[in-house]
Structure 1
């Protein structure tokens, strides 16, 4: 069929044509945001799941909805090895300039901009002085150099500025597992303080399963502030909807056994559904799409994933890290005991510790239970067996 009309969107973070199976979690988040904006007690939300489940898409959708509901949003994607203050300063500046609409000279937005300048100076962050115009400095506010204290001061002042405009501030932060633990603790403390003052400051974050442990270590009271929403593969009904609705809008049908086969191959993961859907569309000559079309598209979809989704992660690995992951894959799909992985490459668990810890920091594996390791990327064990046909032990 005409590739120009292909309705599927397999790009990283691209919104699928049919956002199926996520209405409940989006409504839960919307309720909490509404409560915060109205000055009522509410908890913050974290979207937790493996790669390819659509966390980034959900975060972007919630940011869009929050903007339409009187929130100013700050959207961040956390890279590795970068401090939280260095990312917050320019984005909060942008948010404050939106809140400061040229009314009285001494608005709370202007006071927050002053605090932001102090904060940037205390943590030696480049801002560009001209960007603050004639905002006067206010000594003693967000300028101590203690991140816990200063970030609390700053977020509370930004919250007051939003409240003054009848708005709210929503921090939408992706890849939260890369935020350094001390920075994460300071962010949690700042959100806690803003909540105590009934300020409309919200966090909707997304990250890998290690967020459970990270938040608990950063602040012991995290579980009382946050709702952890586990985002997994779609159930069969939702996966079917994600495949059928987009093609129906183009006047095309799927045979039922073809739909079942795509769901089996993709295990219901949204990113993979988009990838297989796109390849099946390009292979099919006419409607209805058949199981034979799916069979012909299968190697094309895998090749596309190998060249992009999987390869970009594989290329970041050291030889020792690749060996460790290949040993996990050699033991089979699903979680593996760290002791068994070490034994497979003829090392002790303690000898493998640095490599295992590095893979966790890079977001390649996580501890699903005590002593068990699993991939954060679905179907990655299969890819490792293709990329490295033999496990070499040195």
Structure 2
């Protein structure tokens, strides 16, 4: 087996050779993009799922679909080191300048740039290192109140009106959206609400961990009616087999059914792990067909690589108390786990462990699937914790 032509692509946001199991969600996304483009009602949406299910890949696919439909797009990854206001200024400045270059004068685009200039002027008070030159005067009285929830909504409305005037649309893709602070999340939701009320061609497509649904609901109760929340989970047997077998077949390589079954049992159908096992199985096998014995040998390599990279990088960022909490979770068997069960395993009360649990939720290591429960955001992390605790 030639490793140079190994088709599998385990990586952060790396598109797989075969994007299996996402046909329906992408078809729904395309319909929303098309309806938004034509001024029809279409909800913004947020892909929700654990680590390693391919949310970033889906964002990139949606961006490609949007651009094919003629939309102007930008891709944002939320960072705890940069406020949303700064990121949005860079995004909308770029988009509005592109709209302004379209043939023919559009006063609406000029107005939108003036509104953005007003917003920049207010934000500069808080973020001194913003230096975006917009060679135009601001729009007095619009997006200059200094209140983010009000100003961001006015900026979004102005941008949406500019896109409509140009018979275009704007699609902003936001990864790791759960990292937004509460104030910024609320402002973003209110801005989307205003553009939605006016049927403006501006769509937000986000991606985040399962706690995203609760965060958006906490920010604004109407968020559940404003957004769609497609659940991005592991692949079923048929789609997992497709993800593994089709790229191999295109290279004239076959997986035996037993080998496919062994990989799916090891990975539980999670797309990132399917790519990792497929990659290692290819490099381990001597020739086609790839057998169940090849999977046994390659699994040791795959697990070692995951432990040293994918899992360990997250584990190393944890405090001792956080590691102890996750260790107790893992020892309780398959999740989700009752918080009282975890506390009992640690010989403490749930109240005593509250700050540790909250810190793990804030860091994106665990989430609460329902009241009084905790679960890992990283698939197979419980098995990793049990391996290092041996």
Give the shorter-chain TM-score range. over 0.9
Residue 100 of structure 1 contacts residue 107 of structure 1 at CA under 8 Å; is this kept in 2?
no
Q: What runs of 5+ residues in structure 2 fail to find an aligned partner? A: none
Do structure 1's residue 256 and structure 2's residue 257 form an aligned pair? yes
| Map 1:1-394 → 2, pairs under 5 A | 1-80=1-80, 82-101=82-101, 103=103, 107-124=107-124, 125=127, 126-129=129-132, 131-132=133-134, 134-389=135-390
Q: Distance in 2 between matches of 1:165 and 1:312?
A: 46
CA shift for structure 1 position 118: 1.7
* Equivalent-residue separation in structure 1 for 2:232 and 2:278 (angstroms): 21
Give the Cα separation in 1 of the matches to 2:130 and 2:73. Answer: 20
Matched residues in 1 for 2:386 and 2:36: separation? 48
The alignment partner of 1:368 has SS state of coil
**Cα offset for 1:111?**
2.1
Q: Check the 8 A contact 2:53/2:271 in 1, yes or no.
A: yes
Query: CA RMSD, aligned part only?
Result: 1.3
Normalised to the residue count of structure 2, the TM-score between the two structures is 0.96
> Which consecutive aligned stretches of 4+ in structure 1 deviate over 3 angstroms post-superposition?
102-107
Deviations, residues 263-306 of structure 1 (Å, cap 9, x unaligned)? 11110000000000000000011010001110000010011111
Question: 1:107 & 1:384 partners in 2: Cα distance?
Answer: 60
Q: Distance in 2 between matches of 1:69 and 1:382?
A: 43
Rounded to whole Å, the distance in 2 between the matches of 1:117 and 1:353 is 44
Equivalent residue number for residue 392 of structure 1: none
**Does the aligned pair in 1 maintain the 2:86–2:130 contact within 8 Å?**
no
- Alpha-carbon spacing, 1:4–1:69, altered in 2? closer, same or farther (3 Å): same
CA distance in 2, matches of 1:100, 1:142: 20
Deviation of 1:106 (Å) = 5.6
What do residues 231-287 of structure 1 show as CA deviations (whole Å, max 9, x unaligned)? Answer: 110011000000000011111111111011111111000000000000000001101
What is the CA–CA distance in structure 2 between the aligned matches of 1:86 and 1:329, rounded to whole Å?
Answer: 40
TM-score normalized with structure 1 length? 0.95
Task: Tell me the matched-pair count.
Answer: 387
What are structure 1's unaligned runs of at least 5 residues?
390-394
Q: For 2:11 and 2:106, how far apart are their aligned partners in 1? A: 45
